[in-house]
Structures are given as structure tokens and as C-alpha cells.
Amino acid sequence: MKNTHTAAPAKASGSTLLSRLRLALIVILVAAVYYWSVQGMQFEGIQGTAGTVSRSILQGFLHPDWSFVYLAEGEDLLRGLLDTLVISILGTVVAAVVCIPFAFWASSNMSRRLAVSGSGKIVLSVIRVFPEIIVAILFIKAVGPGSFAGVLALGIHSVGMLGKLYSETIESIDRGPEEALIASGANRLQVLRYAVLPQVIPQFLSYSLYRFEINIRSATTLGLVGAGGIGTPLIFALQVRNWNRVGIILLGIIVLIILTDWISGWVRRRII
Amino acid sequence: MKTPASTAPLQPAAPEILPPRKTKQLAGWLVLIAVLIVCSIRTKVTPYQLITGLPQMGSLLREMFPPDWSYLPTIWAPMMETVQIAILGTTLGGLLAIPVALLSASNLQVSRWISLPCRMILNLVRTIPDLLFAAIFVAVFGIGPFAGMLALVFFSFGIIAKLTFEAIEAIDPGPLEAMTAVGANRMQIIRFGVVPQALPYFMSYLLYTFEVNIRAAAVLGLVGAGGIGLLLDRALGLFRYDRASIIILLTLVIVLVIDYGSTIIRRKLL
């Protein structure tokens, strides 16, 4: 409902008949959309036991299963979190390297013809629209369940996102050094090495770290579909309703994400 | 890419005072490479495996074509359910976010005892990914779109509240000071000073979150939280890759259409 109040007055502040009609039309449209969505939601599917389940979940969260933090035989919290961290590091690095040629392909100032950079941009956005989880499922089917599928899924999805950010960085560089180098007879490779790369590398690193922060969140969920990491023990614990274990895993995820955000923020500040 | 890049940054700026910086950068790259080696040992992911895995991916893609077009009518209703989950989840999350964003903003004279806990809650909520919320809510409320909607409510709440309170903190303080000077109370300040300035940003963030949520809603079904993901899971489980590909294609089309529409509206708002 809220959309209407902003969209219309900003466009036409004078309350002419036309703008009022427009406003009414938008109100009706938004109302119809909401009516349609509420209607489609089946509330009868809610379990009657929701109250008791919530209480036992709360109990589980208040008494996390500390013994799960470290188990001698493996498959414990620390190893799960380590796998998650490793998957996101590898996925980010793979993407950060693989997307560089894509980024140069998609930058409008790196090629004379618009068709070249345009096609690069389209390729990147097609890669980008696939959600990581779907990519992960496809890779699980292709290479089997495990961390490897997770790394590939994060890598592929991040290429689309990072490629876009990288190409925007390349498009915004200062042309001065490049022209100076060309004028003094440098070849294309030398221009790239001494004029383009020094300007873009810090920004590339910063974006990669930012992507890493997103990837570690995704990596925690990859295991839910079988692509390795902490999500696998989590989905098992959820299936057998072992809430104490779910509690400790969630706690571990939160601590891991806060820590990595903090470290990545610190490194990013030092780079730029 | 690694070794040539290591010496590159900042070289044109100050060539004389480089040596200490250079060693530091070199150390940074070495640490990264060491971490990578440890990582690939840990997960047994090696470039070799990457190369051998790619042909398998290719054969999977071949199985996905041609898509099973006759399946389209069956998946239309779940797809619409996905859109409905995203709409309701985003809206409710956005509504929840308004009071918390107002309480978290540092320029509205809210006591620190309220604003700091609010921000902490926001930071906590944002560490939990959408699918984890969905997995938990499915356990609580049973399989179905309601659990998915709740997951998106919490997920969007975290994003929208964070972005909105930052937008509120960035608003022009002039109108607020003028209203305080003429004796307006806090509700009046919010209504006439904050809302007109922050609302376009809020709407823009709402739409942005909607774009994110459509993608999220499409995969919620994988953990049983309603929408198209359930059918995708089933199609993949039955090795019906032709059906999986039509589901993915339809999802892509819907995502692109919504992204396009949302971008147009957002451009008009700001």
C-alpha cells in the first residue's frame, strides 16, 4: 500500500485530475497485487503443534549441545565451520581470478565496438541470475555431493557478480597513464600491466573481500542441499529435531560470520 | 595473475618509498597462497579436479536440452506461489523494519540503551541466511509456503532495517532542527521531518529486497518452504533434467521481468 504515496506526489505535485487518476490507478493496482498474494497463501498448512515445537526449539537454543563443538571421530562443529570457511575462500578466489577476462570483455572502454562489451555484459548477467543453490544442485549432479560442488557453485555465481563490479571499476579508470604509455610506444600488454592494473587491483581486491562476506553466508546453506560445509550436519539435526545441536550450530555460524566480517572489513580498510 | 599483480599497486605514485610496502604486499600474497594451498588440501579441491569435472557438467547440460515444454502449465501455479511468498515476505519484513530503523538511527535522539540493542539484533539477524531461516520455520510450522514467507520476513527485515536506518542517519538535519526549535514533538518530527526524506530510500530498498527475495523464494522449496523449489527438487530427484531446465528457465524469466520492472520504479523514486 505504501508505494502509492511516494510514487505519485514525487511525479506530479500539482493535484490535477490526471495525477489524481494516476494515484488512484496505482492504489488499485497495488491493492490488487496484495489481495492476490494474500489469497494465494495457504494458512491452513500451519501445524497445530507449532507452539510446543517453538518451545522445544527455544529450550534447545538456550541449552546448546556443547559436546558437538569437538568430536574426536570428526563431523563436528569446528570441522563443519572450517569446511564452510574453506569453501567460501576457494569459491571467492576461483571467481576473483576467472572473472578478470570476463570483466575486460564487458568493459566498454577496453574495446572499440559496443557489441563486444555489450555481449560481455549479457553473458555476465545470465551467469548472475542463477541462484547459487541451483548451481550447487547442478554441480552435485555432475561431480557428486561434497565441498567440491560447493566451491564450483560459489565460484560460478560469484563470477557473474564480481565480473560486473570489476568491469565497472575498469570503466572508471583514469585514461591519462594509458594514453601516455601509448604515446611513448608501449604495446597493449605493457599498457595493461603499467596503466590499467595498478589502478584497478586495489578495487578488485576490495570487491573480492566483499564477495567473500556474501559467499560465507551462502556457504553455510550449501550443505542443506548436500554441497558440503556446516549445512549438512544442520539439516541432519533439523530432520531428527535435535534442537540442542541446531542451537550450537546456529551459534557457531553466527560467530563465524561475525568474525569473518570483522577480519574482512579490517583487511579492506588497509587495502583502500 | 598473482605474482605480476603483487608489485603493481601504487607503483606509479611513489617509486622511492616502496621497499617496505613491497615486502608487506609480497607477504600478503604469500599468506593468501599458503591459505589457498591449505584450503585445497582440506577440501581436496584441486585445479586438476576442476578440469576433469567440467566434461561431466557438459553432459548434464546436454541432458537438460530440450526443455520439457509440456510441463509449463504444471509449474505455473507454484511459480506464482513463489512470487506471492516474495511479495508478502518483503512487505511484512519492510513494515517490521520501520520502527526498528527509527529506533536504531543515531540522529533521532533515541536513548543509547534502545538504539544499541536494536543494532545488535539487526547484526545478528543479518548473519543468518534465508535458507537457514526457512529450514527452521519448516520445522516449526510444517512444510508449506507459510514457513517460506516467515523466513523471508526475517531475512528482509534485517536488510531493509539496516539500509533504512543508514539512510535516516544521512538525511538533511535542517528540517529536524527547525521543527525542534518550534516545539514539535517526536512523532511530528518523524512524520514531517524524517518520513518525507527517508521514504523514497525506504521504497527503493523495499524493491531491491524484493528482487533479492524472488531469487531466494525460488530455492526455498528445496528445504520444503513452498514455491517452485519443491518441484525443482522433485524433478532433479527423478533425474528429469528436461523438467528441471524448464523450471530454471521460467524462474530466470520471472526474475528478469521483476528485476526490470523494479529497476524502472526505483529509478523514478530516487
Instruction: Render A72-104 in DSSP notation, one character per residue.
Output: TTS-SHHHHHHHHHHHHHHHHHHHHHHHHHHHH
Interface test with B, best of A87, A137, A164 (most B CBs within 10 A): A137
Instruction: Give the per-residue pLDDT at B18.
Output: 52
For B205, name the nearest residue in chain A, comparing CA atoms only: A3
Domain that holds residue B145: 66-269
The C-alpha cell at B128 is: 543468518
Q: Tell me whether residues B135 and A134 touch, CB distance under 8 A.
A: no
Asked if residue B114 belongs to a domain, the reply is yes
Q: Tell me whether residues A90 and B142 touch, CB distance under 8 A.
A: no
Asked if residue B195 belongs to a domain, the reply is yes
- The mean pLDDT of B89-117, rounded to a whole number, is 89
Q: Could you say which of A3, A42, A198 has the minimum Cβ distance to residue B145?
A: A42
Map B26-55 to HEC letters.
HHHHHHHHHHHHHHHHHHCCCHHHHHHHHH
Distance from the B107 Cα atom to the nearest Cα atom in chain A, whole angstroms? 23
Cα A22 from chain centroid (whole Å): 37
Residues of chain B neighbouring A234 (CB-CB closer than 8 A): 132, 135
Asked if residue B229 belongs to a domain, the reply is yes
For B252, name the nearest residue in chain A, comparing CA atoms only: A129
**What would be the CATH architecture of the domain defined by A68-271?**
Orthogonal Bundle (1.10)
Percent with pLDDT over 90 in chain B: 18
Asked if residue B21 belongs to a domain, the reply is no
* Residues B23/B7, Cβ–Cβ less than 8 Å: no
Q: Tell me whether residues A141 and B83 touch, CB distance under 8 A.
A: no
- Write down the number of H helices and E strands in chain A: 12, 0
Q: Tell me whether residues A147 and B35 touch, CB distance under 8 A.
A: no
Question: Terminus-to-terminus CA distance in chain B, angstroms?
Answer: 39
Distance from the A113 Cα atom to the nearest Cα atom in chain B, whole angstroms? 25
Residues of chain A neighbouring B232 (CB-CB closer than 8 A): 134, 137
Q: Helix (H, G, I), strand (E, B), or coil: what is residue B191? A: helix
User: How far apart are alpha carbons A130 and B121 in whole angstroms?
Assistant: 30
For A58, name the nearest residue in chain B, comparing CA atoms only: B140
Amino acid identity, residue A10?
Answer: A
For chain A, give every domain's residue range. Answer: 1-38, 68-271
Asked if residue B33 belongs to a domain, the reply is no
Q: Closest by alpha carbon to A83, among B156, B39, B130?
A: B39
Distance from the A26 Cα atom to the nearest Cα atom in chain B, whole angstroms? 12
Q: Does A79 touch chain B (CB under 8 A)?
A: no
User: How far apart are alpha carbons B265 and B200 in whole angstroms?
Assistant: 11
The C-alpha cell at B258 is: 521483476
* Residues B77/B231, Cβ–Cβ less than 8 Å: no
Q: Tell me whether residues A129 and B88 touch, CB distance under 8 A.
A: no
For B52, name the nearest residue in chain A, comparing CA atoms only: A143
* Residues B256/B168, Cβ–Cβ less than 8 Å: no
Residues of chain B neighbouring A166 (CB-CB closer than 8 A): none
DSSP secondary structure letter of residue A194:
I
Interface test with B, best of A29, A52, A121, A138 (most B CBs within 10 A): A138
Give 10-residue mean pLDDT values along chain A (272 residues). Answer: 45 68 89 86 67 81 82 80 90 91 86 82 84 83 82 90 90 87 88 87 90 91 85 86 87 91 88 74
B134: domain CATH number is: 1.10.3720.10
Respond yes or no on whether the N-terminal peptide bond of residue B12 is cis (omega within 30° of 0): no
Instruction: Give the per-residue pLDDT at A85.
Output: 92
The C-alpha cell at A266 is: 579490517
Phi-psi region of B67 (alpha: psi -120 to 50; beta: other; left: phi over 0): beta
For A217, name the nearest residue in chain B, comparing CA atoms only: B129
Cα distances from B132 to residues A74, A265, B128, B151, B155, in angstroms, run: 23, 24, 7, 8, 10
Examine the pLDDT at B185 and tell me if it is beyond 80: yes
Residue B155 banded pLDDT, cuts 50, 70, 90? very high
Distance from the A149 Cα atom to the nearest Cα atom in chain B, whole angstroms? 9
Neighbours of B85 (CB within 10 A): 32
Distance from the A112 Cα atom to the nearest Cα atom in chain B, whole angstroms? 25
Q: What is the mean pLDDT of chain B?
A: 84
Q: Tell me whether residues A134 and B219 touch, CB distance under 8 A.
A: yes
Q: Tell me whether residues B222 and A217 touch, CB distance under 8 A.
A: no
Q: Tell me whether residues B252 and A130 touch, CB distance under 8 A.
A: yes
Distance from the B109 Cα atom to the nearest Cα atom in chain A, whole angstroms? 26
Residue B153 banded pLDDT, cuts 50, 70, 90? very high
Q: Tell me whether residues A41 and B132 touch, CB distance under 8 A.
A: no
Q: Closest by alpha carbon to B220, among B159, B174, B175, B156?
A: B156
User: How far apart are alpha carbons B129 and A151 in whole angstroms?
Assistant: 18
Asked if residue B56 belongs to a domain, the reply is no
Cα distances from B224 to residues A264, B146, B208, B229, B230, in angstroms, run: 33, 10, 25, 8, 6
Distance from the A205 Cα atom to the nearest Cα atom in chain B, whole angstroms? 11
* Residues A233/A223, Cβ–Cβ less than 8 Å: yes
Instruction: Give the per-residue pLDDT at B88.
Output: 93
The C-alpha cell at B248 is: 530454471
For B197, name the nearest residue in chain A, comparing CA atoms only: A6
Examine the pLDDT at B262 and tell me if it is beyond 50: yes
Question: What is the model's pTM?
Answer: 0.80
- The mean pLDDT of B32-52, rounded to a whole number, is 78
Asked if residue B244 belongs to a domain, the reply is yes
For B223, name the nearest residue in chain A, comparing CA atoms only: A224
Distance from the A105 Cα atom to the nearest Cα atom in chain B, whole angstroms? 17
Q: Could you say which of B1, B219, B241 has the minimum Cβ distance to residue A100?
A: B1
Counting one residue from A and one from B, how many pairs have CB atoms under 8 Å apart? 190
